[in-house]
């Protein structure tokens, strides 16, 4: 293992805020074959276009920011900077600048997560998976986790909820075919079948988040059963027939208004257009009563 030491510029500490003043500030150059990817890397997918852009930059200017690594049995393991390492390999570099930090598994995962969050590099699913590992494998409570990553506890909780999505939906979110806003709307639906149906609809029709939310509200509206529909139609037909009969008998507009689920209560509205018309209608009604 051949490494070359180099003085660390004072600006580097600002790029890696996790460092403390007690940690050794020594920049090394080591062979690229001595570097191994991070076992705790939260990111599963690397954007090919962005990676190629970084490779072109590395070819032209080299690696301007060192990789943060920790010592392992065979060389070094990346804590932060895997994209730079991949770009360096593509660019044909034989050695890369590294900054060595003493870190256990928990610290390695935390640092890798925080580094990606600070760069906004993580997909929501990848972020949720990283949170899950910190909570389950290292026993970090959500409140503490939110403090460590600089986010609200509700934000962390909502991100973790994304892991409840069906596998197909998570894959679409991972591939950026839908957004986290779409995913939250999908989670509002109770069944996985409906969740997958809405996801497909969002992709097919290119729905916005608001349109997806509107679709959820529409699907969640209570619907009458076919029996209820038939009973409602029968009641309306009966009331219309009664109204027609009264209109013919009284010679004026009559409206029958039902109240309650079965129309057992209600009222009858009879129109009159003058005092004489009212007397006429009353006379008809009273005559019918005495007949």
Q: Can you give the three-state secondary structure of 172-184, one letter per residue? A: HHHCCCCCHHHHH
Same domain assignment for residues 117 and 180: no
- 6 has which bridge partners? 27
Residues 271-281, mean pLDDT to the nearest whole number: 85
Does residue 195 lie within any of the structural domains? yes
Same domain assignment for residues 28 and 113: yes
- Mean residue pLDDT of the chain comes to 80
User: pLDDT above 90 covers what percent of the chain?
Assistant: 19
Q: Find the catalytic residue in 82, 95, 115, 127.
A: 82
Question: What is the domain range of residue 162?
Answer: 137-219
Q: What is the CATH number of the domain that holds 34?
A: 3.90.1530.10
pTM of the full structure: 0.53
Of 122, 150, 180, the residue that ends a domain is 122
Same domain assignment for residues 9 and 115: yes
Does residue 131 lie within any of the structural domains? no
Span 80-92, pLDDT tens digits: 888 888 899 899 9
Domain count, the chain: 3
Same domain assignment for residues 9 and 109: yes
Same domain assignment for residues 206 and 262: no
Residues 166-174, mean pLDDT to the nearest whole number: 92
Of 219, 242, 271, the residue that ends a domain is 219
Q: Please, which pLDDT band fits residue 45 given cuts at 50, 70 and 90?
A: low
Q: Please, which pLDDT band fits residue 5 given cuts at 50, 70 and 90?
A: very low
- The answer to whether residue 82 is catalytic is yes
Same domain assignment for residues 111 and 161: no
Torsion angle (degrees, nearest 10) of CA 80, 55, 126, 212: 140
In the prediction, which pLDDT does 133 show? 81
19-28, 166-175, 220-229, 256-265, range with greatest mean pLDDT: 166-175
């Amino acid at each position: 293992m051949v490494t070359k030491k180099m003085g660390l510029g004072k600006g580097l500490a600002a790029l890696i805020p996790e460092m403390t003043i007690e940690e050794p500030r020594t920049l090394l150059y080591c062979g690229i074959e001595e570097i191994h990817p991070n076992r705790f890397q939260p990111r599963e997918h690397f954007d090919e276009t962005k990676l190629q852009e970084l490779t072109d930059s590395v070819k032209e200017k080299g690696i301007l920011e060192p990789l943060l690594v920790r010592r392992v049995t065979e060389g070094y393991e990346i804590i932060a900077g895997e994209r730079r390492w991949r770009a360096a390999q593509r660019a044909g570099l034989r050695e890369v600048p590294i900054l060595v930090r003493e870190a256990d598994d928990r610290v390695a995962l935390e640092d890798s997560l925080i580094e990606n969050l600070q760069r906004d590099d993580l997909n929501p699913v990848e972020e949720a998976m990283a949170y899950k590992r910190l909570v389950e494998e290292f026993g970090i409570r959500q409140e503490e986790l939110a403090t460590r990553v600089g986010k609200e506890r509700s934000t962390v909780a909502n991100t973790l909820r994304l892991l409840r999505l069906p596998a197909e939906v998570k894959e679409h979110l991972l591939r950026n075919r839908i957004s986290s806003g779409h995913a939250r709307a999908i989670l509002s639906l109770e069944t996985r079948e409906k969740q997958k149906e809405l996801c497909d609809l969002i992709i097919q029709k290119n729905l916005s988040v608001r349109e997806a939310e509107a679709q959820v509200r529409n699907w969640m509206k209570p619907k009458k059963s076919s029996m209820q529909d038939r009973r409602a139609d029968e009641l309306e037909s009966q009331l219309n027939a009664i109204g027609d009969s009264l209109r013919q008998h009284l010679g004026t507009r009559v409206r029958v208004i039902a109240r309650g689920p079965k129309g057992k209560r209600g009222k009858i509205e009879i129109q009159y257009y003058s005092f004489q018309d009212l007397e006429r209608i009353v006379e008809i009604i009273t005559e019918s009563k005495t007949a």
